[in-house]
Each structure stands twice: as structure tokens, then as C-alpha cells.
Chains A and B, each alone.
Chain A
Amino acid sequence: MNIFRLVGDLSHLLAIFVLLLKIWKSRSCAGVSGKSQILFALVFITRYLDLFTNFISVYNSLMKVIFIASTVATVYLMYIKFKATYDSNHDTFRIEFLVVPVGGLAFLVNHDFTPLEILWTFSIYLESVAILPQLFMISKTGEAETITSHYLFALGSYRALYLLNWIYRYYFEGYFDLIAVVAGCVQTILYCDFFYLYITKVMWGKKLSLPA
């Protein structure tokens, strides 16, 4: 474990709980893409299947349980409890256009052709594009609530910190995983546009609105 990965995991945890609290407190999921949340639930479920077979550490197992439970809870709040506030008219990204190609790629490019490894690879590829429905929804509505932009900033920062973690691990532990690094770069690059808007607007107290 290193500081980059620890801060990255905590940033990821923060993002998930900021969103969960926003929906719970405001009793509304306006401006939030349910499709992205479904993809994130799929990412965690397919990645953490080894929860019961490979014990790494208490921290690792605890975080896996928290990530799965909190993301499933978010999907539950969005599609069941506060379904009336779900903005399906703007959440129209065709996620099958993500899941199918990612599924195919996971079969073709992986470290080991075993079910668990292919599912892990699928999860890594899917996570890199899972935020697209959310970014697409913001581009359609033209703006995002401030709390939603904080959520996105924390979520985007987590994988950017993981890139630093991989640089650290390469030099100090000789650890390198090309699949995770490439997907992590794609994932972080997708946030660049948002990061620019967040830093130039939200940091100065303005609302995040995309240039029309």
C-alpha cells in the first residue's frame, strides 16, 4: 500500500458517499445518471467475485464490501425509492454500446483466459467508460448541481491517483499491469474536460455549466 493508492481509495469512497448522501438528503436523484450507477455496480460485482476466495487484507475485504453495498444502495434509491425523481429523459446513453464491446475486448485481451480473470478484465475495461452516461447526461442538461460536480471530481481523482500509485509501484516494487494502466489512462482522460470546468468554475463558487 502507498499514499497514492490510499488517498485514491478514500477519494473513491468519498465520491460514492457524497452521491449517496446527496440522493438520500435531497430525496432526489435529479441530474444523476442511473445508467452510470448500474455500470458501477456491475464493475464492482464482476471485480470483487474473489472476495471470498482471495483474502488480501481486512482493509481490502472491507472496502470491497462497502463499495458493492453502497453502489447497490445507490441504484436501489434511484430506481426504486426515489424513482419519481429519476430523470430518464436525459439519461439516454445506450449502455449496451459500452457493455458489449467491453465484454468482447475482455475475451480477446486479458492476462489469463479463466472466468475470474476475464470478469476482472471486463470490470477494468468497463470502469474506464462507466462515467460516460453521466458525462453525456450533463452535456444534455448543460449543467450539473454543485454536489454532483464534487462527486465527479472525487471520482475522477481516484483513478488519477491510481496512475501515480502504478508509477510508484513500478519503480519501488517492480509491479506493472498494462491492462489496468491503459484502462486507467483512458478513464482519467475522459474526465479532463470536466476537471477543466471544475477547476475554472466550481472552485470559484460558480455553478458548473457547459458552454451551450
Chain B
Amino acid sequence: IIIEDVHDEL
């Protein structure tokens, strides 16, 4: 499971 360190969602 990838937790994005950069939030790419609005």
C-alpha cells in the first residue's frame, strides 16, 4: 500500500 508523501488529490 502506497502512502503518498505528496497529496495529489484536491
* CB-defined contacts of B9 to chain A, threshold 8 Å: 5, 162, 165, 180
Partner of A56, one of B1, B2, B6: B6
A60 touches B4 (CB 8 A): no
Residues of B with C-beta under 8 A to A173: 2
A111 beta carbon closer than 8 Å to chain B: yes
Residues of A near B7 (CB, < 8 A) are 47, 50, 54, 120
A12, CB-defined interface residue at 8 Å: yes
Q: What count of chain B residues pass the 8 Å CB interface test? A: 10
Interface of B is mostly: loop
Residues 3 to 44 of chain A near chain B (Cβ within 8 Å)? 5, 9, 12
CA distance A209 to B9 in the complex (A): 35
Return the chain A residue nearest B5 by Cβ: A112
Q: A12, A47, A56: which contacts B8 (Cβ < 8 A)?
A: A56
Q: Once bound together, how far apart are the Cα atoms of A111 and B2, in whole Å?
A: 12
* CB-based contact B1/A174 at 8 Å: yes
B6 to chain A: closest residue by CB? A54
Jot down 27 A-B pairs with beta carbons below 8 A, ordered by A. A5-B9, A9-B10, A12-B10, A50-B7, A54-B6, A54-B7, A56-B6, A56-B8, A60-B8, A60-B10, A63-B10, A64-B10, A67-B10, A111-B3, A112-B5, A120-B7, A162-B9, A174-B1, A174-B2, A175-B1, A175-B2, A175-B4, A176-B1, A176-B3, A177-B3, A177-B4, A180-B9
Which 7 pairs between the two chains have the least Cβ-Cβ distance? A176-B1, A56-B8, A54-B6, A175-B2, A63-B10, A174-B2, A9-B10
**B contacts, CB < 8 Å to A:** 1-10
Binding site for B on A (CB under 8 A): 5, 9, 12, 47, 50, 54, 56, 60, 63-64, 67, 111-112, 120, 162, 165, 173-177, 180
